[in-house]
Chains A and B, each alone.
Chain A
Amino acid sequence: QLQLQESGPGLVRPSETLSLTCTVSGGSISSNTYYWGWLRQPPGKGLEWIGSIFYSGSAYYNPSLQSRVTISIATSRTQFSLNLTSVTAADTAVYYCARDPARWTHYFDYWGQGALVTVSS
Chain B
Amino acid sequence: DTQMTQSPSSLSASVGERVTITCRASQSISRYLNWYQQKPGKAPKLLIYAASTLQSGVPSRFSGSGSGTDFTLTISGLQLEDFATYSCQQTYSPPYTFGQGTKLEIK
B91 and A107 within 8 A (CB): yes
Residues facing B in A31-63 (CB within 8 A) are 45-49, 60, 62-63
Is the C-beta of B34 less than 8 angstroms from some C-beta in chain A?
A: yes
B94 and A60 within 8 A (CB): yes
Report the bound CA distance from A98 to B98 in whole Å: 15
A105 and B50 within 8 A (CB): yes
Q: Which residue of A lies closest to B95 (CB)?
A: A62
Measured as residues with beta carbon below 8 angstroms from the partner, the interface class of chain A is 20 to 34
Q: Which residue of A lies closest to B87 (CB)?
A: A47
Task: With A105-B49, A105-B50, A106-B91 as known contacts, state yes or no: A114 contacts B100, CB within 8 Å.
Answer: no
Task: With A105-B32, A105-B91, A109-B55 as known contacts, state yes or no: A49 contacts B98, CB within 8 Å.
Answer: yes
Q: What's the count of A-B pairs with C-beta under 8 Å?
A: 56
Task: With A109-B46, A113-B43 as known contacts, state yes or no: A48 contacts B98, CB within 8 Å.
Answer: yes
Residues facing B in A49-97 (CB within 8 A) are 49, 60, 62-64, 96
Is the C-beta of B97 less than 8 angstroms from some C-beta in chain A?
A: yes
Is the C-beta of B16 less than 8 angstroms from some C-beta in chain A?
A: no
Report the bound CA distance from A60 to B96 in whole Å: 11
Give B1 Cβ to nearest chain A Cβ, in Å.
Answer: 8
Q: Which residue of B lies closest to A64 (CB)?
A: B95
Using a CB–CB cutoff of 8 Å, the interface residues on chain B facing chain A are 1, 31-32, 34, 36, 42-46, 49-50, 55, 87, 89, 91, 94-101
27 CB contacts below 8 A, A to B, read A46-B87, A46-B99, A46-B101, A47-B98, A49-B98, A60-B94, A62-B95, A63-B1, A64-B95, A96-B44, A98-B43, A105-B31, A105-B32, A106-B32, A106-B91, A106-B96, A107-B34, A107-B46, A107-B91, A108-B34, A108-B44, A108-B46, A109-B46, A109-B49, A111-B44, A112-B43, A114-B43
